[in-house]
Chain A
Amino acid sequence: MATAVDTPTSSPTTQQLLALYERMLLIRRMEERLRADAAAGNLPGAVHLYIGQEAIATGVCARLKDSDWITSTHRGHGHFLAKGGDPKAMMAEIWGKRTGICKGMGGSMHVADFSKGILGANGIVGGGFAIATGAAFASKLSREGRIAVAFFGDGAANQGVFMECLNVSSLWKLPLVLVCEHNQFCEFTPSATVTSGEIADRARAFKIPASVVDGNDVAAVWQAAGEAVERARRGEGPSFIEAKTYRIQGHLEAEDLFLAGGKYREKQEIEEWRTRDPIDRLQQRLLESKVRAEDLQGIGTRIARTVEDAVKFAQESEAADAELAFDLMFVGQKP
């Protein structure tokens, strides 16, 4: 990593870490199941997995209220679950069922739950910046104290709209937190080959406080997010967090079909990053904090059941209602 990583100054309690562990494991197990179902050809569309990045969504969303907003990315299952989205409704959505959170109209890349402040995963790289900025602007005007968090990747940081939103959010001191998940890849291209300078420096150029953290250390993310969220709530303006991490899975499942033998990274690199797995690291830390192994196993069992229930719910649900598309183009108006 080119940039030095900030050291957190305070840490979550063991109880808080256990809650983070449970949420991270839920995301991991849900996605492992999605991975298997994608490979088996059970899912209708592409899935982009978050495996290896769970600490970021979890550490940030643990600092938010239901009434706060997030915008997410095409790799959005983790953000959805971390912000309190329902596993069953997410799974059914990805299976294309009418019981899905978006009634089967959005799919994997578009899971959203407005009642939980989840303004949606987004198929457009960089599509969430301005939406989060607009929500933060609204909160500033209404003085409701709600904040908005935009999750995005290193790829999105090269979109021009990123610079625009840094400018306007800093200018108007909007309650916004920008979380860059630097997972090293812009789709199938190593980020370093298409990115100039340090992404955090772009935020600093707009006088936005920026911290760079180890994105595979949930405590570090939690700490940085806490400071950023508090600053936003105090009305002092936006903050930027760059969480260094690594995309363990491909850009999307079954990417080998697209790559047709082409290669953009070495297997050895993936294996090296597996040794820094955020869930393994947290588990180790919990065990060192005298948490009993059987308690962690209990969490694992509970989550396995949640995942099975979600899959069963999705499988048994009716297919989406195609006619619904005609009703959903407009409010009270035929398309």
Chain B
Amino acid sequence: MARKRVIHAINEALVEEMSRDPKVIVYGEDVELAIMGDTRGLLDSFGRDRIRNTPICEATLTGMAVGAAAAGYRPVLHMMFSNFIYTGFDAIANQMAKLRLMTGGQATMPITIIAAYGGGGSNAAQHSDSGYPVLMNLGGVNVVLPATPADAKGLLKTAIRGSNPTFFMEAIGRGGEMGEVPEGDYTVPFGKAATVREGKDVTVIAIGSMLKPALEAAGKLEKAGIEAHVVDPRTLVPLDEEALIAAAQRTGRVILVDEARDRCSAAAHIAALLADRAFGHLKAPIKRVTVPNVCMPYAPNAEKRMIPDAERIVRVATELARA
């Protein structure tokens, strides 16, 4: 184990997978200079046939991934901000998510799309969406949200080696966070939630970027005599339903924390799942701590008000524990 930053873990995964398989190519806007940090050094190591800057044309970049995959490549498309998924959405929603079924299984789409989501940097609403709920609804694409450097590396390697289109969602502004990363080659399987902290009083299911405030909240709750059981789904599609149901049953009190807008959020989906399949074990209503149904404002104070933090989680958890 060594302590590494998230972007270094992602970079290692790219280097290792590009070395392992010559069919892995990385392309996107400004990837050569590595504006997002995670593709640094790839150009020198692999050259422009393996990593390439593109024009700003997301509608074409997403469609090209489909064509390159059909031609036997494993494209990794870096889309920078998850908001740019919207400008490239036709080929995502109408082509890569559907072609396997529509061709009767002829098409295999080993595509990885990297995109940064969430707020916190005064990037304003067009650069701060957490665009994954809409991707979850497409069918046909996987959605993964690593919360630690170790999971970032392991999940990205699974995505690149896999045979399905996968959105690898990076939490914006969290690339510098440190964590222990195992040595050598390893992967993290899709559809396996991680229990990050054990407790008996309240279950906190924290998605992606929300694991950090959830753990901070758990520390504060402990001082107040409330034991939080913290679970990280790690992948939303596929979703480890059984682990989440078991975690809900364990305490009978559930909080879902999600940086997406509340309406049709991942939290809303999981809440519905738990209401359906863990109802008999619940001692209180399922609570969601999410972004309100507003677009992310620019001003730091206004933005802070919208993004779930430890304080909000503690407040809801305390109410729940008393319920």
Chain A residues near B (Cβ < 8 Å):
69, 71, 100-106, 110, 112-115, 119-120, 122-124, 127, 129-139, 141-142, 146, 148, 160-161, 164-165, 167-168, 171, 324-325, 327-335
Contacts and interface: CB of A to CB of B under 8 A. Distances in A.
B102 interface: yes
A171 B55 CA distance: 10
Contacts of B265: none
Given A134-B65, A331-B100, 14 more contacts: A101-B104, A105-B101, A106-B102, A112-B103, A119-B67, A127-B63, A127-B94, A134-B64, A134-B70, A135-B71, A141-B49, A161-B90, A171-B55, A331-B108
Most chain-B CB neighbours within 10 Å: which of A115, A119, A335?
A119
Contacts of B54: 168
B139 interface: yes
Interface residues of B, number: 44
B59 interface: yes
Interface string B44-62: 0000010000110101111
Interface in B5-19: none
Nearest to A104: B104
26 contacts: A69-B67, A101-B104, A102-B102, A103-B104, A105-B101, A105-B102, A105-B103, A106-B104, A112-B103, A112-B107, A127-B95, A130-B64, A130-B66, A131-B67, A131-B70, A134-B64, A134-B65, A134-B67, A134-B68, A137-B67, A138-B67, A142-B73, A164-B57, A167-B55, A171-B55, A331-B164
A131 B66 contact: yes
A101 to B, nearest CB: 7
A106 B95 CA distance: 12
Interface in B133-151: 139-140, 142
Given A133-B60, A135-B71, A141-B25, A114 B106 contact: yes
Nearest to B59: A161
Given A130-B62, A131-B67, A137-B68, A330 B103 contact: no
B99 interface: yes
A259 B95 CA distance: 29
B64 A133 contact: yes
Contact of B71 (A69, A124, A130, A331): A69
Interface string B65-79: 111111111010000
A141 B102 contact: no
Contacts of B66: 130-131, 134
A184 B141 CA distance: 37
Closest 3 pairs (CB-CB, A-B)? A130-B63, A134-B67, A134-B64
B100 to A, nearest CB: 6
Contacts, number: 150
A232 B66 CA distance: 21
Contacts of B95: 122, 124, 127, 131
B280 interface: no
Contacts of A101: 104
B163 interface: yes
B159 interface: no
A130 B103 contact: no
B105 interface: yes
A134 B71 contact: yes
A164 B73 contact: no
Nearest to B163: A331
Contacts of B257: none
A133 B91 CA distance: 13
Most chain B beta carbons < 10 A, residue from A105, A122, A131, A146: A131
A203 to B, nearest CB: 15
B213 interface: no
B104 A328 contact: yes
A102 B103 contact: yes
B309 to A, nearest CB: 34
A233 B312 CA distance: 62
Contacts of B163: 331-332
B225 to A, nearest CB: 41
Nearest to B50: A141
B41 interface: no
A110 B238 CA distance: 27
Contacts of B139: 329, 335
B101 A325 contact: yes
Given A131-B67, A131-B91, A138-B71, A160 B59 contact: yes
B164 A333 contact: yes
A161 B95 CA distance: 14
B306 to A, nearest CB: 32
Contacts of A132: 67
B140 A329 contact: yes
Interface string B279-316: 00000000000000000000000000000000000000
B240 to A, nearest CB: 12
